[in-house]
Amino acid sequence: MLAIVLAMLPLAQVGWLVVGLLAFGVLFAINSSWHSYLIVHYARADGVSMDVGFYYMANAMGRLVGTLLSGWLYMAYGLSACLWVSAALVASSALMALALPRQVA
C-alpha cells in the first residue's frame, strides 16, 4: 500500500518525505537517549531500577492515552484542535520541567 502511495507522489515530494522521516528519526533518537540519561541521573541511588521501571511504565501509559486522545480530538474537532491541545500539553510539560532540581546530590 505504501509503495502505491509513494509511486503516485512526484519524486521531489518523496525526497522531502525521506528527509523529514530521517530528521524525525535523528531527533527521536537524541530525545530518547537524553530521557534515559535524565531518568538515571534523577533516580535515587537505592532505587534506580524502580525509578527507571516507573519511567517506562509512565511513558507507555502516556503513549496510549496520547494516541486515544489525539484520535478522539481529531474525529470530534479536527486537526486544529489536536495541534492546540498538543501545544498546551507541551507548555505544561515545560513548566513542570522548570520545577526539577538543578543539582542532584
Q: What is the pLDDT of residues 8-66, one digit of tens each?
A: 666 666 677 788 889 999 999 999 898 888 888 888 888 888 988 998 999 999 999 99
φ, ψ for residue 16, nearest 5 deg? -65, -35
Looking up cell 530518547 gives: 32
CA dist 27 and 81 (Å) reads 25
CA dist 92 and 89 (Å) reads 5
> What's the predicted TM-score (pTM) here?
0.63
CA dist 28 and 22 (Å) reads 10
Which pLDDT belongs to residue 9? 64
Which pLDDT belongs to residue 76? 96
pLDDT tens per residue, range 74-95: 999 999 999 999 999 999 999 9
φ, ψ for residue 78, nearest 5 deg? 95, 180
Q: How is the chain split into domains, by residue range?
A: 1-42, 47-105
Residues 6+ apart with CB under 8 A from 70: 82, 85, 86
Residues 9, 17: contact at Cβ < 8 Å?
Answer: yes
